[in-house]
Amino acid sequence: MYISKPFNYYFHHLMFLTFQGLFCSIINIYNTNMAACISSSIGHDDQYSSNKFDESRCKRYFDFSSYENNDPLVNNVHSIKLPCLKMVVGSLYLAKDNPKKPLGDDAHFIYEYYQTIGVADGVGGWAKKGIDAGIYARQLMRNSLIATNNEPKGHVNPKRVLEEAYKNTNYEGSSTACIITLNSEKNTIRAANVGDSGFFLLRKGKIISKSSIQQRGFGCPYQLGKCNDNPSVAKEMELIVKKDDILIVGTDGMLDNMNQSEIEKIVRRAIDDKLKAEELARKNGKLALYNSLDRFADTPFARASRRKGGKVDDITVIVAYFQ
């Protein structure tokens, strides 16, 4: 069984997924007052694996601050060599406006200590059966973070992470997923991608590589969960990265609503303006949002569906600078 994605939604909620607890913020997108809850980095649905995981051990590395010499965790891990390159990461999440599902269907995690990031997009077609696929996506990302924590430091295997997370995610529903990690010894990124989430790798403002979309037909992506797919279908990639390269990762809410030329233009401006990763993520997310609401926009979704306009959807953007 494969579930297709619906796309007739409107949204305005802004959520940032950090690993530092639940707090709220107010954002105004349509010049009206709208509450935007900022949740824990992998959601808070209490549907998690029973695997042992010391959250305090990795929480230090979700604030994107530099390592400190007096950090007891860093001082106790003598076997880890400082990487030639590191990812400096920022993210943005824009969820659809749905009072019954304020967290939307997307989820993501950023584990800076292991230089690993991931995104997931719960397949909204499950709503017809009364199932919130967003819970599956959040549980999958939660379990991906746990699996990453059990990987050899500096040698995370994204496909193995997906396999472990998939095995321990038991909620009804299904989700696309993309896990990316930096190998600090080889200065390469490794990725495992299932479905229509994905990434672009840019060098000097030009896209030099991108992930491929996996789908059986329009609106029916490969997906993990209560369906016929499993992590064995994941597309694996390994790419060399250089200093000042930029990685743009997103769910289809971004990828369906932004042309490659638009992404390149925004990145070049960000380089000129010396924007931080989080600021660049915000720039991409805002344009994806604008295009999604434009009934006449020429978007990847418009060309694939053979109709004008963008696709209204949850939008997740993760930006990583290689420094």
| pLDDT tens, residue by residue, 101-122 | 999 999 999 999 999 999 999 9
For residue 200, name the pLDDT band (cuts at 50, 70, 90).
Answer: very high
Mean pLDDT of 177-203: 96
**Whether residue 130 has pLDDT greater than 70:** yes
Given a cut of 60, whether residue 83 has pLDDT beyond it is no
The answer on pLDDT for 26 being more than 80 is no
Q: Does domain 87-322 have CATH number 3.20.20.220?
A: no
Percent above pLDDT 70 for the chain: 74
Classified as helix, coil or strand, 307 is coil
- At what angle are helices 158-167 and 133-149 packed, to 10 degrees? 120
Maximum Cα interatomic distance, the chain, rounded to a whole number of Å:
57
Q: How far apart are CA 210 and CA 302, in angstroms?
A: 20
Backbone angles phi, psi at 128, to 5 degrees: -65, -25
The pLDDT, as a whole number, for residue 184 is 83
292: tokens are 């999604």
